[in-house]
Structure 1
């Protein structure tokens, strides 16, 4: 079973194996995509009536926030502290934007919905950030300067892969310590047990620049592949390159 929808401004694809295209798998897929559409409506900083936008304008008090948003904001604060302030969801002039945590957190929750529905072999891909389960899956990481090439292929079973880079949206990741765009790296990929961790660590490490590679690699369960601004490849010893 293979299904693709455009949500959160990017293509999200789900491939299910083993169970066949039966009603249970289809119903599980329906729940996942409904959840991701709900997250987009509630947490997008680009929708004026979302919970995040209302909080950013000061129209929602802390005790009025949903448990899900409280969880997301707690994760944002955790990565702000652990990155020494490089990771920020409030950059001057840009308002509240927790997207760097929301996407990975939401897609990981979608993977958990699949497992709870009895779907055990799948690949859930949100614009190149991927959760895999059930067997080893090969995931290509786009070359940071050549859209028609990959720079590495990883093999991941029951884990997640996330990449932060400048090639799709330009200098959109800012170093919260300086307020300036992060330009020390061209791309940085993290493999971790969950996409919540992989996505947030990739963004935080990219914001830190070259020092972020070692920071990310030092985190329990994380492996890193990066290309710096001088086009040097930096890789942690355990990064799971496919044969």
Structure 2
């Protein structure tokens, strides 16, 4: 049987280029439908959860119309509520009466896709959607993935993270509202969170950015002390500071005080 040593595809989904890079050596007859199914899933997520599509379930919810009791919809809304409590309200998917799970849904969708690829036998892969990245397995036999942490404003790589199994989410490119004031937060350059679940990392990055620089430092430190999520902050002056565990993936640089 002829094998095809991995394949990759990029498509526009959710208004951004999304890439699926599979490195597991599978037959082409298996890889092609895997990629087809991957992007069909991501388009379904966009059609279901987009707050700007009138016929999406979130769009219908915001207009007070009947919504379908889709298990994934219920799961996402419940998880957003949990993350709101875990962040003392700084992750807030409902502002001014409008539900918008965008700070969680992209990471959640890639995390679900990553698990599906593992179950399908494609355990070596990299998924990338607008700064949210999920890697599993190896880029090549025995070789960790190299993940560039890009500045969302310039596109330049600020750090390179090395890992076999990790989710990485960066916030700061799109406007993020401070839920306490209702105004766009402008106190930080960007926030990157790494950890085992990309959806959770995505929500934490959104929440920490919304806090502004002072509260963000304290929350990021406590988050690292209590679990597996590490954070790098880029301040407005370009200085980078991170929790100690971030350096295990990316090398030495300034750390947040404990």
- Normalising by structure 2, what TM-score? 0.85
Aligned residue among 96, 99, 103 for 1:96: 99
Corresponding position of 1:189: 192
Larger Rg: 2
Corresponding position of 2:218: 214
1:86/1:175 contact within 8 Å kept: yes
Q: Distance in 1 between matches of 2:27 and 2:128?
A: 18
**How many angstroms does 1:25 deviate by?**
2.0
Q: Distance in 1 between matches of 2:222 and 2:125?
A: 29
User: CA RMSD of the aligned region, Å?
Assistant: 1.8
1:120 is paired with a residue whose SS is coil
Q: What is the number of residues matched between the two proteins?
A: 235
Q: Distance in 2 between matches of 1:183 and 1:48?
A: 30
Corresponding position of 1:156: 163
In the TM superposition, 1:15-164 aligns within 5 A as 15-20=21-26, 22-60=28-66, 64-92=68-96, 95-135=98-138, 136-147=144-155, 149-164=156-171
2:152/2:171 contact within 8 Å kept: no
**How many angstroms does 1:144 deviate by?**
5.0
Matched, 1:229 2:232: no
Q: Distance in 2 between matches of 1:131 and 1:217?
A: 23
**Given the superposition, is the C-alpha separation of residues 60 and 131 from structure 1 closer, same or farther in structure 2, using an over 3 Å criterion?**
same
- Normalising by structure 1, what TM-score? 0.90
1:202/1:216 contact within 8 Å kept: no
Q: Distance in 2 between matches of 1:185 and 1:242?
A: 22
**How many angstroms does 1:53 deviate by?**
0.5
1:88/1:176 contact within 8 Å kept: yes
Taking CA–CA contacts closer than 8 Å with sequence separation of 6 or more, which of the two structures ends up with the larger relative contact order?
1
